[in-house]
Structure 1
């Protein structure tokens, strides 16, 4: 399982998904809602949830796209409760190189359990393929 917004899928994302898929047999994407992107990143998503989900579904490494924990425009509700993990019970969660905060929260939350294993993946040319850099060019 991986978490992310994947707001305009790029080569760095594709590399991340390939590396994540290599860790197991079935890759689930917990995709951030539009409201989550607005709250966490402070801007409107470039693509809607449905557009991002459709693009991810076309990737050969992705087996399933599910909605991440929902939150409203004020940041209330399930953010940080990891309900999607409780429901789907993945064996492995892969975090991107730029997801240190998520990695730390997940490691603390699931420290007493054998599963899921939390793994940080290496970046793919982060000076070129980073969403914030690419979005500034759009």
Structure 2
């Protein structure tokens, strides 16, 4: 059985998330998803996610393409997460291309093309702009 692992915050869940998770699952038999903790997201992006860690875990675990979910507490532990979950393949979006190549020593690494014209950051910015509200 080929085990695939991926990581993300998965805040403001959108079709781009579904696309990459379904494509990651298609590369193996069992999909494991590490969901960034609220604290990890704050350290990476300078803001807490819109949806709580518990809500994001529930959203991801409810998807039929996802077999297992866990909380990612540290970027420095990514190699340990890969080993602990006995993953054969690490899948990340191509916006991370080359940044995880060091894990080729413990598993294969693949970067998948992101869904064009959609990102959580862009959605948050659109929602924050009062001129975008059409009442």
TM-score range with shorter-chain normalisation?
A: 0.7 to 0.9
Does the residue aligned with 1:45 lie in a helix, a strand or coil?
coil
Does the residue aligned with 1:137 lie in a helix, a strand or coil?
helix
Does the residue aligned with 2:110 lie in a helix, a strand or coil?
strand
Q: 1:42 aligned to 2:46?
A: yes
Match of 1:81 among 61, 77, 82: 77
* Counterpart position of 2:113: 122
Deviations 1:5-51 (A, max 9, x none): 00121001000111101000000001100000111011121011110
Gaps of 5+ in 1: 71-77
Does the residue aligned with 1:80 lie in a helix, a strand or coil?
helix
Q: TM-score, normalised by structure 2?
A: 0.83
* Counterpart position of 1:75: none
Distance in 2, Cα, partners of 1:13 & 1:79 = 20
Aligned pairs for 1:108-119 within 5 A: 108=102, 110-111=103-104, 113=105, 115-119=106-110
- The RMSD of aligned alpha carbons is 1.4
Corresponding pairs, count:
122
Task: Tell me: CA distance 1:116–1:132, structure 2 relative to 1, closer, same or farther (3 Å).
Answer: same
* Structure whose residues are more often helix by fraction: 2
Does the residue aligned with 1:27 lie in a helix, a strand or coil?
strand
* Counterpart position of 1:7: 11
